[in-house]
Amino acid sequence: MSDRPIPRSAVRVVTLSLPGLLLPGCALRGAPAFELFGAYFPLWLLSALVGIAGAVLAYRLSVRTGFAAAVPFPLLVNTSVGVIVALVVWMLGTGQIL
């Protein structure tokens, strides 16, 4: 072994490229999409729209029932509900649940 130090540029290249090599690529079957009115609609967009609708519904229900006054951070709670709903829709759409 030599006593020469490893150049900083080589360390930087390895550090920046290693995470990309560890990430998996797309599957051979393509991106998750479904046909809606003759056009392919991306599942991530549907998940986002359903998640936003879930957050709005959670907000309205919490205000109507008085739960919003008891929760210290209602915006954070309702946003979390929307994210959970969006993730469930995503996982159902990609076949990871059921």
- Non-local (6+) Cβ contacts of 31 within 8 A are 42, 43
Note the pLDDT tens digit of each residue in 75-98. 999 999 999 999 999 888 878 777
- pLDDT at residue number 52: 96
DSSP three-state, residue 40: strand
Q: Are 55 and 61 in contact (CB under 8 A)?
A: no
pTM of the model: 0.63
- Indicate if the pLDDT at residue 69 is higher than 60: yes
Tell me the angle at which helices 74-94 and 43-65 cross, rounded to the nearest 10 degrees: 140
Note the pLDDT tens digit of each residue in 1-48. 567 777 778 788 888 887 777 766 655 566 667 676 777 778 888 899
